[in-house]
């Protein structure tokens, strides 16, 4: 297991974006924050409030599914208790959630992909399919997750998304 963790750490280090690459780091920071739960809860709440029945239904399904995902992610994080990689960026994450495995952002973003593909519309599904891997890679690139954290989060999000779709449609 130590060998796997060492490999994961080394590969994650290679994916880290250098501090002097300001433009790329800014882009990665915007992507990383676009997966924040507060952003999604606020946006989906607004969508439910202002939307027609088509969007209200989707907003409720997305909100409930994100909440279910958060429960699983936190349960695993507090069971595994893997510390985040050393680094400066992401102080809020480091203070409020010191555990990195699995990535909640990756789980949430891939959950949203499954829901987008399953519920439509097609333009939203395509947007989410492109967006989700970028959010996940940004988390590694900024040094708040190891690669295995986001891979586990992706898998968890895909599985929970499939289960939620089967429950809601």
What tens digit of pLDDT does each residue of 30-52 get? 999 899 888 899 999 999 999 99
Evaluate the omega torsion of the peptide bond into residue 141 and state whether it is cis, within 30 degrees of 0: no
3-state secondary structure 139-163: HHHCCCCCHHHHHHHHHHHHHHHHH
Q: How many CA atoms lie within 13 A of 107 on its CB side?
A: 26
The answer to whether 95 touches 79, Cβ cutoff 8 Å, is no
What is the average pLDDT score of the chain?
A: 90
How far is C-alpha 94 from the geometric centre of its chain's CA atoms? Answer: 16
* Six-digit token string for 108: 């949430």
Confidence of residue 11 (pLDDT cuts 50, 70, 90): confident
Which range (24-38, 68-82, 101-115) has the least confidence?
A: 24-38
Mean pLDDT of 135-161: 94
């Amino acid at each position: 297991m130590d060998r796997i963790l060492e490999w994961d750490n080394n590969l994650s280090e290679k994916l880290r974006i250098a501090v002097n690459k300001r433009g790329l780091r800014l882009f990665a920071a915007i992507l990383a924050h676009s997966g924040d739960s507060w952003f999604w809860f606020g946006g989906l709440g607004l969508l439910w409030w202002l939307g027609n029945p088509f969007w209200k239904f989707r907003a409720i399904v997305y909100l409930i599914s994100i909440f279910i995902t958060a429960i699983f992610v936190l349960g695993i994080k507090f069971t595994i208790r893997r510390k985040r990689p050393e680094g400066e960026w992401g102080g809020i994450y480091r203070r409020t959630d010191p555990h990195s495995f699995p990535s909640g952002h990756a789980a949430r973003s891939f959950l949203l992909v499954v829901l987008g593909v399953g519920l439509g519309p097609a333009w939203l599904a395509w947007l989410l399919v492109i967006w989700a891997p970028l959010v996940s890679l940004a988390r590694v690139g900024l040094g708040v997750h190891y690669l295995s954290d986001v891979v586990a989060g992706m898998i968890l999000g895909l599985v929970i998304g499939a289960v939620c779709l089967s429950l809601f449609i």
